[in-house]
């Protein structure tokens, strides 16, 4: 057990009362990262299809820190389903720091759950599973899904631990400062060495122009903009304004996801881009086009659906590695998600996310 997890505070003589004890920022981010990693290990005890660890109390506790090395899920499709479940679980505030009265504040995580499910769907397609299994396309999809998850879920955990604490501690998040055991476990994940210094970049959110390479899961202005929108969502009661702030949060974290994490991580990789270019050429050729997996986001637990209200298809000829083109599609998908979540199908969307949440102990689909 790490010595710097020990805290002290004055005792209170009154029964059944509490005193506050401050926890260092690096401890909070270590616990947040551990929470993320726990969702994708093979040895997780489960309860109601969710990872079931020593997290029953609504608190941060030094007893929650692991003392042994984890074994991570290696199957990319299964891992993407587990990641989707984790996003859905936190969106639905169904974890030890969650607040059921605030379901909807972590708006991006709902769309993120559907997006990670779609990564699993892509990896499940026979064109990818059998024809591109050992390619940079397959590896890039897996790497992007995993390391985006490592970056993004911990931000939400940190905010759930306390918004004031988040605002104070967000600028100091740095994977090099995790406590020893968490750091060791974190570095055991596949692709760590070639990924960690690329996550994130500071970018121009509209153009995607890179301004600064940070790496090591550090904070950017775009992240802060996204979480400031959550803080505003929590402050106001008007449903129209709440929806406006929810969408502002969604777009900010989407820009972080696509521009500050995935662009430098996979879309600037010449090998990955080479596969994407080959796909575009092949998709235009007779017969060969059938070998190319489609680009579609399905806003349901299913890998595919005939319900067009739930489908968001990429524009024909989309150059996926181009940030602005990709964000144009993502913004369209975000608006479709927003309309579903704010309209008559909202309760159905929650049912969908509840089903995805149940994949916390999922096996690989056939």
pLDDT in tens, 155-196: 999 999 999 999 999 999 999 999 999 999 999 999 999 999
**Is the pLDDT confidence value at 210 over 50?**
yes
Residue with more model confidence, 70 or 161: 161
CA atoms within 13 A on the CB side of 163: 15
pLDDT higher at 141 or 51: 141
How much is the pLDDT for 275? 81
pLDDT at 70 over 80: no
Q: How confident is the model at residue 365 (pLDDT cuts 50, 70, 90)?
A: very low
Q: Is the pLDDT of residue 230 over 80?
A: yes
Res. 53: pLDDT tops 50: no
What's the pLDDT tens digit per position in 117-138? 999 998 887 566 666 555 788 8
Query: Could you tell me what percent of the chain has a pLDDT over 70?
Result: 80
pLDDT band at 324 (very low <50, low <70, confident <90, very high): very high
The arithmetic mean of pLDDT across residues 326-344, rounded, is 97
Contact 73, 36 (CB under 8 A): no
For range 274-301, the mean pLDDT: 73
- CA dist 88 → 156, 252, 290, 358 (Å): 12, 19, 32, 9
CA-CA distances (angstroms) from residue 109 to 118, 152, 169, 365? 14, 9, 21, 23
Domain ranges, ordered by start, for the chain? 41-52+69-361
Which backbone phi and psi does 21 adopt, to 5 degrees?
-130, 125
Residue 278 pLDDT level (bands cut at 50, 70, 90): confident
- pLDDT at 1 exceeding the cut of 50: no
Q: For residue 344, which phi and psi values (nearest 5 degrees)?
A: -70, -15
Ranges 244-248, 268-272, 287-291, most confident: 244-248
Q: Is the pTM of this model over 0.85?
A: yes
């Amino acid at each position: 057990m790490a010595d710097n997890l020990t805290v002290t505070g004055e005792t209170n003589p009154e029964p059944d009362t509490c005193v506050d004890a401050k926890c260092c920022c690096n401890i909070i981010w270590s616990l947040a990262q551990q929470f993320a990693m726990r969702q994708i290990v093979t040895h997780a005890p489960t309860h109601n299809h969710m990872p079931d660890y020593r997290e029953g109390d609504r608190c941060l506790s030094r007893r929650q820190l692991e003392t042994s090395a984890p074994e991570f899920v290696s199957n990319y499709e299964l891992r993407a389903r587990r990641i989707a479940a984790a996003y859905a679980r936190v969106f639905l505030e169904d974890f030890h720091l969650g607040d059921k009265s605030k379901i909807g504040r972590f708006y991006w995580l709902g769309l993120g759950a559907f997006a990670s499910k779609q990564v699993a769907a892509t990896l499940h397609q026979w064109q990818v599973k059998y024809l591109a299994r050992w390619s940079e396309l397959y590896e890039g999809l897996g790497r992007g899904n995993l390391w985006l998850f490592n970056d993004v879920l911990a931000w939400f955990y940190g905010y759930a631990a306390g918004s004031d604490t988040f605002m104070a501690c967000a600028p100091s998040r740095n994977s090099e400062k995790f406590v020893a055991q968490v750091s060791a476990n974190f570095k055991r994940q596949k692709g760590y060495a070639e990924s960690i210094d690329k996550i994130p970049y500071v970018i121009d959110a509209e153009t995607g122009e890179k301004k600064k390479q940070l790496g090591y899961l550090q904070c950017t202005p775009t992240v802060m903009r996204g979480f400031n929108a959550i803080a505003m969502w929590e402050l106001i009661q008007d449903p129209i304004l709440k929806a406006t702030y929810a969408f502002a949060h969604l777009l900010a974290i989407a820009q972080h996801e696509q521009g500050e994490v995935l662009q430098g991580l996979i879309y600037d990789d010449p090998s990955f881009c080479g596969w994407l270019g080959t796909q575009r050429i092949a998709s235009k050729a007779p017969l060969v086009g059938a070998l190319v997996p489609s680009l579609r986001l399905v806003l349901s637990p299913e890998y595919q659906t005939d319900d067009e209200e739930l489908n968001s298809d990429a524009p024909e000829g989309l150059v996926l590695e181009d940030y602005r083109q990709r964000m144009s599609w993502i913004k369209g998908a975000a608006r479709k998600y927003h309309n579903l979540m704010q309209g008559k199908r909202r309760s159905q969307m929650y049912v969908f996310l509840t089903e995805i949440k149940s994949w916390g102990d999922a096996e690989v689909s056939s």
